Structure 1
Amino acid sequence: MTAPTESKRVTCPICLEPFTWREEELYRRVTDSSGARWVRADLSNIHNPVKRSDRRARCYVQCPNPSRENREHYLPISYRDHGEPIIIGLVGRGESGKTHLLATMIHAALRGDLRHHGLAFEPADELRHMAFQLEINELMRGNKLEATEDLKEEFTTYLLVRTSAGTTRPVVFFDVAGEDFVRSGAQGLGGQFVLGATALMFVDHPAEAVPSLYGSPERNVNPAFAGALQRLAQRKDMADLPVVMVLTKADELRYQHPVDHWIRLDDAREPLSAAQFRAESRDVYAFLDRYDAQPMLDTYEKFRRGTLHVVSATGVAVDLNNQYPRGVRPARVLRPLLALMAMIGLVDHPEAVEVGT
């Protein structure tokens, strides 16, 4: 048994219930012939402080699950060790491209592509990241990823971001099925993360977001956006949440102005410029307005601080075999993440405070 540590109140990102963090009981995940299960981790006989710190870093604390609404769940030990967690949620209908966007975004962030902006990301949850890394590898091999499973209560991956100013914060990413925001059964737990989110990415793809461009005169309804906004209405601080509106699969619009301009720009090495964020947001807003993309525009207008972006997670459309035979070539996938990091206050740059205003 581990020595008691100073208690601290935390809010679980999964069940959204506060509890007192205690490390008297630590757990680790083991897999053997009987399957995978959680077992108690006993560090009492480890006296080498370096070795003990290493073993502790691989442990988890069980959330007491006070409301008893969720399944049994565990949080990585590092959830307590750093600053206030940042919870980022992706909101979008099925097939909107959320999963591919998140995979390529995290891949680029972990590769160090935002180091020019003083941001370094690293995995902080070995188990969850291992599962997510398998998805990243699958996509990088040119295979389309499966849609997000329904009623997914867990977060997708958990990272640490270290800034050039010396700050370290946990970053939790949620990607749930779009249908979970409007599902009437099973308590609707899959989309409840918006109630505790620090920032949000609203994601849609051209065929649904701008149907008139594809010959459909009907103004589309986005049930995922509507469902998320309905839940967010419970929060008094809803309008103050930083948001990014992301039009995915922009490779389909590579010859459409102004998408053709923005999709070709480097999103990692260019200097941070609030004016450029405003210019892209202005152009994307005008494009969406021209083609009557009302769900995206209406959602954007409900928040005081936000940016609009065009991205392509793969660079090309999938073929009939659900593959990308020439591989994937992501474009602008880091831009939304950089915008949120600036709006949250993690980018050490004089213009960061102006991003999204």
Structure 2
Amino acid sequence: MTTSGRTTRCPICADEFAWPNEPEVWLFNPGDGRYELFDISTVSPVKQADLIRNGYRRCPNPSADMVEHFLPASFGHHGDPLVIGLVGAPSSGKTHLLTAMIRQAFLNGLAAYGITVTALDFRRHVHFRDQYITPLERGDGLAGTGTGVIEAADILLLRGPTGERPLIFFDVSGEDLRSTDARNRATRFLLGVDAVIFVHASADPAEKGLSSVDSENRSFELAIERLRDRVLPAAIAVTKSDRLRYVAPADRWLHRGEEQVLNAARIRAESRDVYAYLHHVGSGASLRPFEAFSRCTLHFTSASGGDALPKQADKEFPKYFPRGFRPSRVLEPLISILAMTGVIAGQEAERVGMP
């Protein structure tokens, strides 16, 4: 096998290997759902580039501890990938937050920071769009992530002042995140993440005694212990914050909408308010990432704009949002992560998440 000489870490199995540079790519056949090896050495350079852009490389998985999996054939042609994992308890709103975040990013939500977003894995993104973005846009509630999922939710390509970097998101079920089984492959992504977004669902202030502190503690604690020896930036996203739209201090942040300028002092102020809110409502367990990671920001977010209600006679989407789909501040955790990982550069970015 010929290689490019560049060492790559697979975000799925966490193995490192030399990125292959062979005149062959794997093409996905939608007819039978399989990958087929295709020799591109005999076609023109223009066609080769197109096949590489749409094809895949099979991960060699040197440890031989994971099922067969593939990465985009152009994965190793860009800058170092940025792998972000979402961690949270069941029903914390991880999937809704990730879906709204990716949707807003594709709607030029990062343009103010000089960043454009395209799909790196076209087939994966089309699946994500059809299964998650489109239903959410029409007001349907999404089902939680199933257990045992090992693949990335989506693989994007960021282009900006600091170059091109693949962006990989992992959204694993809360049940898997709370599992103590060392053989659970669904949580393997934690070994290769570059940043983590911890997701905590706000309680409805109208419902007394509603709390998810215990379950949040388990998912957060297990992830933190696995990441303890690594220096990573983190963000805490308080989802379903639309429940707090009339409650201080969340109300003033939600009314601001999406920001257009990176301002470390403003991010620190919001982090301070989120910290105070979580401490006040007794959700101290969800503040553990702030204590465990040296750079951490906290944010109020709303992926949908309201709670979902039951819908009759629809097994695929049994819930809907009666007020429609109205995301608010869903990009703020991602923007902070991009600043703390150097995707957004400059002196202001260097101050984000600092004490």
Q: Is TM-score (shorter-chain normalized) higher than 0.5?
A: yes
Residues 7/142 of structure 1: CA separation in 2 closer, same or farther (3 Å cut): same
TM-fit CA distance, 1:154: 0.8
Q: Distance in 2 between matches of 1:8 and 1:349?
A: 28
User: Equivalent residue for 1:214?
Assistant: 208
Whether 1:341 aligns to 2:331 is: no
CA contact (8 A) 2:162 2:343 kept: no
Runs of at least 5 residues in structure 1 that lack an aligned partner in the other structure:
none
User: Equivalent residue for 2:4?
Assistant: 6
- 1:76 alignment partner, one of 38, 56, 72: 72
1:80 counterpart SS class: helix
CA contact (8 A) 1:211 1:218 kept: no
TM-fit CA distance, 1:50: 2.2
Q: Distance in 2 between matches of 1:216 and 1:39?
A: 51
TM-fit CA distance, 1:4: 5.3
Query: What percentage of aligned pairs have identical amino acids?
Result: 39
User: Equivalent residue for 2:107?
Assistant: 111
CA deviation string 1:86-115 (max 9, x = no partner):
100000011100001000100110111110
User: Equivalent residue for 2:316?
Assistant: none
Q: Distance in 1 between matches of 2:115 and 2:211?
A: 43
Residues 39/221 of structure 1: CA separation in 2 closer, same or farther (3 Å cut): closer
Match runs of 1:5-84 below 5 Å: 6-24=4-22, 25-32=24-31, 35-47=32-44, 49-84=45-80
User: Equivalent residue for 2:146?
Assistant: 149
Residues 211/295 of structure 1: CA separation in 2 closer, same or farther (3 Å cut): farther
- 2:247 alignment partner, one of 256, 278, 282: 256
Q: Distance in 2 between matches of 1:348 and 1:12?
A: 25
User: Equivalent residue for 1:247?
Assistant: 238
CA deviation string 1:203-234 (max 9, x = no partner):
01013xx999733589634221122122223x
Q: Distance in 2 between matches of 1:281 and 1:226?
A: 20
CA contact (8 A) 1:118 1:348 kept: no
TM-fit CA distance, 1:336: 0.5
Aligned length: 344
Task: Tell me the TM-score normalized by structure 2.
Answer: 0.92
Residues 218/174 of structure 1: CA separation in 2 closer, same or farther (3 Å cut): closer
TM-fit CA distance, 1:355: 0.6
User: Equivalent residue for 1:199?
Assistant: 195
1:38 counterpart SS class: strand
CA contact (8 A) 1:94 1:178 kept: yes
- 1:224 alignment partner, one of 216, 219, 226: 219
CA contact (8 A) 1:88 1:197 kept: yes
Q: Distance in 2 between matches of 1:45 and 1:227?
A: 50
1:150 counterpart SS class: coil
2:134 counterpart SS class: helix
TM-fit CA distance, 1:299: 2.6
Whether 1:137 aligns to 2:134 is: yes
Residues 39/218 of structure 1: CA separation in 2 closer, same or farther (3 Å cut): closer
What do you get for the CA RMSD once the two structures are aligned?
A: 2.0
Residues 113/62 of structure 1: CA separation in 2 closer, same or farther (3 Å cut): same
Q: Distance in 1 between matches of 2:129 and 2:215?
A: 33
Residues 218/227 of structure 1: CA separation in 2 closer, same or farther (3 Å cut): closer
CA deviation string 1:130-172 (max 9, x = no partner):
1111111111111111110101111110011111x25111111
TM-fit CA distance, 1:67: 1.8
CA contact (8 A) 1:212 1:218 kept: no
CA contact (8 A) 1:23 1:61 kept: no
Runs of at least 5 residues in structure 2 that lack an aligned partner in the other structure:
312-318
Match runs of 1:92-111 below 5 Å: 92-111=88-107
Residues 218/8 of structure 1: CA separation in 2 closer, same or farther (3 Å cut): closer
CA contact (8 A) 1:212 1:291 kept: no
User: Equivalent residue for 1:173?
Assistant: 169
CA deviation string 1:306-348 (max 9, x = no partner):
1000100000111121012442000000100100001111213
CA deviation string 1:266-305 (max 9, x = no partner):
2242x21111001000111111111121111123211110
Residues 213/154 of structure 1: CA separation in 2 closer, same or farther (3 Å cut): same
Residues 297/212 of structure 1: CA separation in 2 closer, same or farther (3 Å cut): farther
TM-fit CA distance, 1:73: 0.1
